[in-house]
């Protein structure tokens, strides 16, 4: 009987210091981009001024889904997490099918989209994908021995792919790059080809993050529930989008070995 009791206590304590776990999570990303209507904004190409107009829907709190792998160091209140997370939203975008220049209108053709009779009316995807590593410090646990509840803080770094928002600044900057200092400016009637998807695919950055959360783990079961708050900061892109700093509130279900 004594051996059975000792073995049971050992199993409970071992489960309290679970070593390895894998799981998934779902949450809400607090990214928020206001809707915008710009009747006409100025673009400088080849030293001349052109104008363009657009309208865009808002993006607000996209759904975030991901997976994670845990590794906790026995006895020492330190753990590590490798995480993958994606968030996405779809928004409507309308824009003129031409740019107005000093000598007349210049057709603007978006690669992959049909040229409309008057204006583009399209759906664009906003996507965010992150792969990061987090070091966690379990600040305190309740009750002291079996540690059913663990409260932790931590931080880390990772790679993040964040698509830019189609905006006047994106169109302005990319067209200025396309026509920097040409001896002959774009002529009226000759179409300009603009590949928005090409620019969207070029934005992978390194960022850092901080986390705080709580874990609920019953000692007799290899299952844990986590609630996390994560704040992420990445470099701002060239278009001034308010998407580089964001936070995610998420709930996780994990299985421990």
Give me the pLDDT at residue 198, please.
77
Give me the pLDDT at residue 174, please.
80
Paired with 244 in beta bridges are: none
Give me the pLDDT at residue 218, please.
79
Give me the pLDDT at residue 130, please.
94
Mean pLDDT by 10 residues, the chain (257 residues): 50 56 94 89 80 91 94 86 94 90 86 88 90 94 81 96 88 78 65 80 87 88 91 90 92 88
Question: Which residues lie closer than 8 Å to 141 by C-beta, 6 or more apart?
Answer: 16, 77, 147, 148, 149, 150, 151
Give me the pLDDT at residue 209, please.
97
Give me the pLDDT at residue 12, please.
47
Closest CA to 193 of 179, 214, 213: 179
Give me the pLDDT at residue 125, please.
87
Phi first, then psi: give them for residue 118, nearest 5 degrees.
Answer: -130, -60
CATH 2.40.160.20 fits 2-256, yes or no: yes
């Amino acid at each position: 009987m004594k051996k059975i009791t000792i073995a049971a206590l050992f199993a409970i304590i071992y489960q309290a210091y679970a070593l390895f776990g894998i799981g998934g999570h779902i949450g809400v990303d607090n990214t928020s981009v206001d809707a915008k209507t710009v009747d006409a904004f100025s673009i400088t190409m080849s030293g001349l001024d052109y104008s363009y107009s657009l309208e865009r829907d808002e993006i607000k709190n996209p759904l975030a889904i991901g997976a994670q792998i845990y590794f906790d160091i026995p006895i020492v209140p330190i753990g590590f997490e490798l995480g993958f997370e994606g968030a996405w939203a779809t928004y409507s975008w309308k824009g003129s099918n031409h740019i107005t220049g000093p000598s007349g209108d210049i057709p603007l053709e978006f690669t992959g989209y049909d040229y409309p009779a008057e204006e583009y009316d399209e759906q664009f995807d906003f996507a965010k994908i992150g792969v990061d590593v987090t070091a966690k410090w379990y600040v305190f646990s309740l009750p002291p021995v079996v540690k059913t509840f663990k409260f932790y803080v931590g931080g880390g770094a990772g790679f993040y792919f964040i698509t830019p928002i189609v905006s006047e600044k994106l169109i302005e900057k990319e067209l200025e790059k396309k026509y920097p200092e040409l001896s002959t400016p774009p002529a009226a009637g000759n179409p300009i080809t603009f590949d928005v998807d090409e620019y969207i695919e070029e934005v992978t950055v390194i960022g850092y993050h901080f986390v705080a959360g709580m874990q609920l783990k019953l000692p007799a079961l290899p299952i844990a529930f986590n609630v996390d708050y994560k704040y992420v900061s990445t470099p701002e892109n060239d278009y001034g989008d308010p998407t580089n700093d964001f936070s995610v509130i998420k709930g996780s279900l994990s299985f421990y070995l």
